[in-house]
Amino acid sequence: MTESNLSHRIVDLANSLGFDACGMAEADFLKESSEHVEQWLSEGFEGDMTYLDRNKEKRYDPRLLVEGTQTVVTVIYNYYPKTLLPADDNFKIAKYAYGNDYHEVLKQKLRELLEGIEAMTGKLAGTRVFVDSAPVLDRAWAVKCGLGFIGKNTTLIHPKKGSFFFIGHLFLPIKMEPFGKVIPNHCGRCTRCIDACPTGALKAPFQIDARRCLSYLTIEHKGPFEGIGEDLFHDWIYGCDICQDVCPYNRFARGNDEPLFQPSAELLAMRKEDWVNLDKPGFDALFRKSAVKRAGYEGLKRNIDFLAKNEASI
């Protein structure tokens, strides 16, 4: 089988498995992306996410992360829910966290893709599956594989499908013909995401200060909130979708068909009073398989109490 035929067959297989797009590129050093990340880190925009300073060389070159890697296969998978959480008398959580933890769901789908690839090539030694759990520049590889462009809100945007996607990768020890052309930025003069960010985290086009981002503050940040007024949280207790919700490209967003990503009846029934009264057993039952576990009960309760306390004082 030629390199070109294999690439096309893998893309066809990925589509048949439900991925929204698939591309592949030669595994090499991401020079431009490394320079961007280094500049971002030099500004201190990562806040408490000190892990971003570790293993940087592996982040920039997949061949250092997994020896023998020759090709990076990148996929995107839609997570926009068919049913949104009720807005009235409710707090908000990011849409990606409505259902089961995406790490495990997407990894399983990528393993199925890998099995299909190995049915074509034979068993491949040294393959790896990655879903937001290792030093990999997810968006950079998605761009290189032709799956979208980086918007002014720093998210990956597919010009026909929006930005509500998970990104996953296969590192393969075989050479294949690249599939997917780099898509130029199509934000134009639009600044809706920058204008809508309540905390000013989007300091300029394509530049985000994580220390002011509601997603960072409600998930990664530890300790009390300082210098950010409660009115700026807009009822977000886990993550934030504001800069994506206002993006014109997300008019193309459609509800995904993955049952594991749909909100449970219990989550749909939650209202502010229920959130305020949420205890540890209730948290464990509600988010047993959810990405919300990253914040933990104490972290989520801190967020809820901060907003509820200040709401009560108005």
DSSP characters for 227-274?
Answer: S--GGGGTTEEE---HHHHT-GGGGG------GGGSPPHHHHH--HHH
Angstrom distance (rounded) from CA 260 to CA 63: 33
DSSP designation for 140: H
How many C-beta atoms lie closer than 10 Å to residue 72's C-beta?
26
Angstrom distance (rounded) from CA 257 to CA 259: 6
DSSP characters for 61-112?
Answer: -HHHHSTT--EEEEEEEE---SSPPP-TT--EE-GGGSSS-HHHHHHHHHHH
Which among 28, 132, 235, 274 is annotated as catalytic? 132
Cα–Cα nearest to 125, from 49, 185, 45, 70: 70
The helix/strand/coil state of 46 is coil
132 belongs to the catalytic site: yes
Catalytic residues: 132
